Amino acid sequence: MIDLGGKVALVTGASRGIGRACAIRLGALGATVVVNYHTSAGAAAEVVAEIEKGGGRALSVQGDVSNFETALEVVKTAAGARGRLDILVNNAGTTRDGLLVSMKEADFDFVIAQNLKSVFNCSKAAVRQMIRQRYGRIVNLTSVVGLIGGAGQTNYSAAKAGIIGFTKAMAKEYGAKNIAVNAVAPGYVPTDLTAGLPEEVRERIVGLTAYGRMGTAEEVASVVAFLASDAASYVTGQIIAVDGGLT
């Protein structure tokens, strides 16, 4: 049984999808959860209410973590909630799909900032606190497209592949400080980000899995919770695909 009692966790982009599921799971396991959101205040409040309904403790904090100064403030707020920050789940991200030949530079830059720069921002802000504690668990949300690529997603694939390299490098830098850094690579999970995929694309992806079905945000959250816990105390620098055998 994973016990996160006494731990403080910050989950970015936690108002919906996989981030929401991660926040709720960490809260159910005893962590005080800081629910970060950018624009969806109502949805974030619902996540906080869901955690509290289950007997957990949570609060929400607004902020676009792709902006460095904003990310610093979000992390500062999270650490100030209980005087420490044990777990950081870098989940915030978005897509702006399109073929490379027609992709606008702004769409490439935006996706890199939202998905990859946000990981740098929050990790840099959190690591000082974790060094002082000599304890930390960072879990980054990448994607199977960071491993195998995705047509029409050169920007998103590049960002998610960047997270993989970032994860491995940071794990090597801070393992001696008892800070573990890992990443989870979800496969096809129904969320707002995947809702726009054509039905034939969804069917093709599902057909490539070993299970012949889509995953769920809760299944991803289970692996995130494991990596955020002391049950994974000798696991760092790893990329765990939660994709039903797709890769």
Neighbours of 63 (CB within 10 A): 20
| Residue whose pair of structure tokens reads 């049950």 in the numeric block | 231
Running DSSP on this structure, what letter comes out for residue 210?
A: S
> Amino acid identity, residue 68?
F
Of the candidates 120, 8, 18, the one whose C-alpha atom is nearest the C-alpha of residue 68 is 120
92: left (phi over 0), alpha (psi -120 to 50) or beta: beta
Please name which of 105, 119, 141 lies closest in space to residue 223, comparing C-alpha atoms. Answer: 141
Cβ atoms of residues 88 and 138 within 8 Å: yes
Annotated catalytic residues are 156
Residues in Cβ contact with 117 at an 8 Å cutoff, skipping those fewer than 6 apart: 66, 68
Q: Which residues contact 40 (CB under 8 A, 6 or more apart)?
A: 15, 16
